[in-house]
Amino acid sequence: MTEFVLRTTELTKIYKHDVALDKVTLRVKKGTIYGFIGQNGAGKSTLIRIVNGLAFPSSGSIELFGETADRELVAARKRIGSIIESPALFPHMTARENLEVHRIQRGIPGKECIEKTLELVGLQEAGKKKAKNFSLGMKQRLGMAIALLGDPEFLILDEPTNGLDPMGVMEIREFLKRLHRENGITILISTHILSELHLLATHYGIIHKGKLLEQLTAGELNEKCQQYLHIKVNDASHAAAVLDQELHASDFEVMPDGTIKLYQFVHDSGKVSTALFRAGLIIEQFMPMGEDLESYFASRIGDERYVQSR
């Protein structure tokens, strides 16, 4: 069985005036949550549309569940559930009725899947309420329910938290985590807001102006965004001795300019300042530093506005 749910090779899409995708080679491993990050117009929706068979590439290829031939791709797409832009809902129908229409349209046998899916997204109590009267969060959950009908192995969500308030964003995040944990589903989620993916994605792909700039795991990203205490004192070697002997710190660096980067005690910095002070050192600078995910993303795509305010 193939290790990858989705692979694209040098995928390119050229519109009349725009190169929407420029030789994108992307890998989504089975069982991962892939955060697909890029600003508006970066090319995320174009890639998702091609994967779903809603647009055709100008060149390059895609592989879904190990299949590359056109005929096999049609069958492979049945194993995908997607929400692209706003979910297609019938406003005058209840959640249950909406699901029933989609079930019939997609030829999914057996009505049992409707209750199961409503329960999965927490809409079993929505009762007679019509979709037009749903909150945005409920609409998004109903959209997810539609995507989840037929037990897809791969869920693709294009900006699923668009317009949601922080509570709604958190709700969706918790729901997706549970779905991933309990059902082992592979998820690709596109967004231009990196913080929404924090604590959710296991892998990241950064796309900018149609080019895939980087793919990395959550662990690699965290390492790049490592937090540390920036310390400047009147005597760096004395301070290093204090860190070593008093605090038994093992992870710090004395920089050529005499400042110290201490990668431990970031959330317990009082201990450090007290030890330095007691040793008679004069503390000139003392602050937590490091990139957060948002500024790392900004620095990768060269967005000066974010980089300078870091």
Ligand X SMILES: Nc1ncnc2c1ncn2[C@@H]1O[C@H](COP(=O)(O)OP(=O)(O)OP(=O)(O)O)[C@@H](O)[C@H]1O
Nearer to ligand X, 67 or 294 (CB): 294
Main-chain phi, psi angles of 272, to 5 degrees? -70, -50
Report the residue closest to ligand X, judged by CB: 45
Least distance CB 35 / ligand X (angstroms) = 13
Chain contacts with ligand X (rule: CB under 6 A): 15, 18, 20, 38, 40-46, 159, 192
Nearer to ligand X, 40 or 309 (CB): 40
Do you know the residue count of the chain? 310
CA-to-CA separations, 21 to 10, 209, 213, in angstroms, rounded: 9, 8, 12
Nearer to ligand X, 44 or 103 (CB): 44
Least distance CB 127 / ligand X (angstroms) = 34
Burial 227-252 (b: 16+ CB within 10 A, else e): ebbebbbeebeebbebbeeebebeeb
Give the whole-angstrom CA distance, residue 30 versus residue 183.
12
Give the CA angle between residues 214, 216, 218 to the nearest 5°: 140
Burial class of residue 295 (count of CB atoms within 10 Å of its CB; 0-12, 13-18, 19+) = middle
| Residue 34 near residue 185 (C-beta atoms within 8 A) | no
Least distance CB 24 / ligand X (angstroms) = 11
Give the whole-angstrom CA distance, residue 74 versus residue 183.
24
- What letter represents residue 41's amino acid? G
Least distance CB 283 / ligand X (angstroms) = 45
Main-chain phi, psi angles of 280, to 5 degrees? 85, 15
Nearer to ligand X, 41 or 53 (CB): 41
Give the whole-angstrom CA distance, residue 223 versus residue 261.
15
Nearer to ligand X, 108 or 193 (CB): 193
Nearer to ligand X, 103 or 208 (CB): 208
Least distance CB 294 / ligand X (angstroms) = 16
| Residue 60 near residue 10 (C-beta atoms within 8 A) | yes
Nearer to ligand X, 95 or 206 (CB): 206
